[in-house]
Structure 1
Amino acid sequence: MMLQEWRDDTPRESRTSEDLRIALRDRIKEVLLPLISGRGERIHLIDPPDHPNVGDCAILLGELDFFKRELPGSKVGFHDWSTYSRSSDRHVERASVLLMHGGGNFGDIWPHHHQFRLEILRRFPKRPTIQLAQSIHFDSPEALQETRDAIAAHSDFTLLARDTKSEAFARANFDCHVALCPDMAFAMDRIVRKPATVDAFCLLRTDKEAVAPHEGIKKQLNQMGLSAEAGDWMDDPRTAERLWDRLYSKLTRKFPAAYPLLAPLAFTARRRYAEARLRVGIDLLSRGRIVVTDRLHAHILSTLLGIPNVVFRSFDAKAAAFYDTWTHAAPICRLADDPSDMVHAVQAVMPPK
C-alpha cells in the first residue's frame, strides 16, 4: 500500500498497523536510498545511542536493518559523542557518506548531542552528510543561529525532517536540502507483541520532557473501570549487553589508533545493547491491552506492535506533530491533550475483552 493510498483512499476501519508499517518503511526507502545511492560503500553513523532510552535504540535498529536490507555491501562504522576525539578524524574521513542518527535531539533540548552534531559538520564540511529523520526544536535564538551558520558552511548537507512542522521550520531556517521522512524505527524488521496482563499500561516520561500528570492519568483510567500500571523505560541495569557496550566504548575512546580492529566488535556490542533495550520496551508495552503514553516512541512501537494506544501532546509538540503527519489515520491511534480528553480517546481504541 502506497502512503498516499493510506492517507486518502482506504477507509479508516480497514487500515491496519501492518499496512502503516509497510507504507512508512517504503516511504523511508523512497526518500533515503537515492540520497545514499552511489556513495554507500563506507557509511559512518554519527552519534548512535549509548544510553538506555528504548526509543533511540529502536531508531538505531531501524537504521541498521535499513542498511542490511537496502545496502548489504556497505561497511558501517560509528562514533558517538562520548567516543569521538580529534584523533578519530582519519577514520571518519574514510567514509563515503556520514549519516547522523535520527530522533528528537536536533536543537537545544539535549545540547550535548546537538553540539556534537555541529562539531562534525564543522570538522567535515565537504563530506556528504545526511541527518536522518529528526524533530526540530529551538528555544534559544543563539543556538538556532549557530546551527544556521554550521549548515550554511557545509557543502553537502541534507536534513530529513520527521514531521511536517519540523520540515517547514527547516525550510524556513536552514540553507540545505530538506525532505520529509518517517522515523527510522519504521525501517525495523517486524516486531511482535506479548500477551497483555492489564487493561492499560501507562508508559510515562520521568525526564525533563515530562508533561503528562501521571497520577491523574491512572486515576482517570481507574474511574473508567480499567486496571492500569505505569512505568518508564529509562532504567539501565548492569546487563551483559550494557557492560560489553561500555567496555568497547572505553577502548575506542582510549585507543583511537586501534579503531579498525575495535570497530566491528564495538558495532556488534552496540547493536546487542539496542536489541536488549528494545526487548525491555516490548515487554513493558505488551502488558497493556492498550498503551497510554507521552513518549513518542511508545506510541510508535505500540503502533508497530499492533497495540491500541493514546499519546499525549509532548513537551516540544513532537508527538502531536508526528501523529498529525503519519499516524493519525491509524484506527488504533489517538491523540489526547489531557486526562479528560483521554477518556474519549481510550474509549475509541479499547478493544473488546
Structure 2
Amino acid sequence: MTSQSRTELIAKLNGMIHDCLKDYVSRDEPLAILDFPGIRNCGDSAIWLGEMAYLKDRFGKRPDYVCRTADFSAGELKKRVPTGPIFIHGGGNFGDIWVSHQDFREAIMERFPDRQIVQFPQSIHYSSPERIEQSARAIARHKNFVLLVRDEESKEFSEKHFDRTVRLCPDMAFAIGPLPDRATLISVLAMLREDAERVGGTDRKIPSDIPVEDWITKSKRKVDIAKKLGAASAFLALKPSEVALRKLDAAAHNSFERGISQISRARAIVTDRLHVHICSLLLGRPHAVLDNSYGKIRRFMNAFSGGTDLSYKATSLEDGIEWARHQAGQGARG
C-alpha cells in the first residue's frame, strides 16, 4: 500500500465521519462530550483526540462541557450547555462487557429526555438478554437519541433490538489523520490484549525474539508529568470549560503518544487490538490482525479498513507472525 493510497483511505473515512455528524454540530451552538476515557487503553485516547480533531478541523470549535463518568455534574452541564447536543464518547463499551459505561449512558438518557444525545461510533456486544431489554427500554423512552455504530453487525443488532435509526460510521480516531513515520528499532512486535476481550489462554507460542506487549501499562512518571502540564495549560485558560478540557486533553495526548511510541518501534506488528490496527494505518506500518473475543476487529475491517496491503487478516497467531516477519524483512531490505 503506497503512502498516497493510505492517505486516500484516511481521507475517505474522514468524509464518511463528517457525513454522519455534520447535521448534529453547529458552529454557533454549544455542545458537551461525556465519558472521557480516564483508563489505561491508548486506543480510547486516540478516539478522544479524533473527536477533538474533528470538531476543530470541521467547525473550529471545542466542547463547552466535558467530564469523566466519576465527575459528571448535571448542574454544570446545564449551565455550560443549556442548549445543543450532548455527545457520548465512542469506542467499544456499548453493551454488557464494560457495564459501568453502559449504566452511565442509560442514566444520561433518563436524566435528559428532551435533549439530543449523540453516541459517537461504538461497537455493540451483549451477552445478557435481560440487559438488551433494559437498554432497549432506555432508548425507547428517549425521543432524540442518535446511535452511530462501527460495523454492520452492530447496525443489524441495533435495528433489531432498538427502536431507533442507526447509522454506520468509522471510528473517530481516523479524524487524527495520517501520522509521520518514525524510526524503527525492532523487527516484529506482538501487541496482544490482556483484558476482558482477550482470546485464548496463557499458553501463546511466540518466538523468544519477538517482544509481547499490551498498551494498557502506564508509566507513573509520565502520567505525573502529563498532569502537571495539563494543570499548567489549564491555568492559562480563560473559560472554565477550557480548564477541565485542557487537563483531560493532556492526559489523552500522553496516553496516545505512549501507544504510538510503543508500536512505531517495530517494522511490522501482530495484534488483536482494534486501535493498534487503526494507528498502524495512520502510521503506515504493516500489521497482521487477529481478533478480540467477539469479532470486533474483523467486523470493523469488513466495514471500513480492510483490503489494503498494510493489513493482513491472520488465520492464527503463528500465521500472523510469519506474515509480519516477511513484511519486516522486506522493510529492512528496502
- TM-score of the superposition, structure 1-length normalised? 0.84
Confirm or deny that 1:97 pairs with 2:85. yes
Deviation for aligned residue 1:51? 1.6
User: Could you report, residue by residue, the CA deviation over 1:225-263 in whole angstroms, capped at 9, with x for unpaired residues?
Assistant: xx4212111122333355359989xxxxxxxxxxx9643
The letter for the 1-side match of 2:218 is: D
1:339 maps to which residue? 317
Compared CA separation, residues 73 and 343, structure 1 to 2 (3 A): closer
1:234 aligned residue (216, 219, 236): 216
Kept after mapping to 2: 8 A contact 1:196/1:288: yes
- Tell me, what secondary structure is at the counterpart of 1:171? helix
- Tell me, what secondary structure is at the counterpart of 1:216? coil
Counting only pairs closer than 5 Å after superposition, residues 30-45 of structure 1 correspond to structure 2 as 30-37=19-26, 41-45=29-33
Compared CA separation, residues 41 and 281, structure 1 to 2 (3 A): same
Counting only pairs closer than 5 Å after superposition, residues 312-323 of structure 1 correspond to structure 2 as 312-323=290-301
- TM-score of the superposition, structure 2-length normalised? 0.89
User: Could you report, residue by residue, the CA deviation over 1:183-239 in whole angstroms, capped at 9, with x for unpaired residues?
Assistant: 0000114322321111111111111221156763522xx6xxxx4212111122333
State the distance in 1 between where 2:322 and 2:265 align. 21
Compared CA separation, residues 148 and 229, structure 1 to 2 (3 A): same
- Report the identity percentage: 31
Kept after mapping to 2: 8 A contact 1:98/1:127: yes
State the distance in 1 between where 2:29 and 2:5 align. 36
State the distance in 2 between where 1:231 and 1:154 align. 42
State the distance in 1 between where 2:154 and 2:181 align. 31
1:79 aligned residue (64, 67, 73): 67
Deviation for aligned residue 1:16? 2.8
2:227 maps to which residue? 243
1:270 maps to which residue? 248
Kept after mapping to 2: 8 A contact 1:245/1:270: no
The letter for the 1-side match of 2:242 is: P
Confirm or deny that 1:27 pairs with 2:27. no
Deviation for aligned residue 1:15? 7.1
Compared CA separation, residues 168 and 97, structure 1 to 2 (3 A): same
Confirm or deny that 1:69 pairs with 2:68. no
2:235 maps to which residue? none
- Tell me, what secondary structure is at the counterpart of 2:243? helix
Q: CA RMSD in A?
A: 2.5
State the distance in 2 between where 1:329 and 1:73 align. 34
State the distance in 1 between where 2:265 and 2:145 align. 42
2:42 maps to which residue? 54
1:6 maps to which residue? none
Confirm or deny that 1:292 pairs with 2:270. yes
1:190 maps to which residue? 178
State the distance in 2 between where 1:240 and 1:140 align. 39
- Tell me, what secondary structure is at the counterpart of 1:115? helix
Compared CA separation, residues 292 and 121, structure 1 to 2 (3 A): same
Deviation for aligned residue 1:17? 2.0
Kept after mapping to 2: 8 A contact 1:100/1:130: yes
State the distance in 2 between where 1:72 and 1:64 align. 10
State the distance in 2 between where 1:347 and 1:291 align. 9
Confirm or deny that 1:176 pairs with 2:167. no
Deviation for aligned residue 1:347? 6.3
State the distance in 2 between where 1:148 and 1:341 align. 40
Confirm or deny that 1:16 pairs with 2:9. no
Compared CA separation, residues 214 and 99, structure 1 to 2 (3 A): same
User: Could you report, residue by residue, the CA deviation over 1:69-112 in whole angstroms, capped at 9, with x for unpaired residues?
Assistant: 11214543212211114544533761400111000000010000
State the distance in 2 between where 1:15 and 1:261 align. 40
Kept after mapping to 1: 8 A contact 2:46/2:173: yes
Confirm or deny that 1:139 pairs with 2:127. yes
Deviation for aligned residue 1:170? 1.1
Compared CA separation, residues 296 and 16, structure 1 to 2 (3 A): same
Compared CA separation, residues 18 and 189, structure 1 to 2 (3 A): closer
Deviation for aligned residue 1:156? 0.7
Q: Greater CA deviation, 188-197 or 116-125? A: 188-197
The letter for the 2-side match of 1:270 is: L
Confirm or deny that 1:305 pairs with 2:289. no
Kept after mapping to 1: 8 A contact 2:288/2:321: no
Q: How many residues in Structure 1 have an aligned counterpart in Structure 2?
A: 324
User: Could you report, residue by residue, the CA deviation over 1:9-66 in whole angstroms, capped at 9, with x for unpaired residues?
Assistant: xxx789732221111111111211123348x611100102112210000000000000
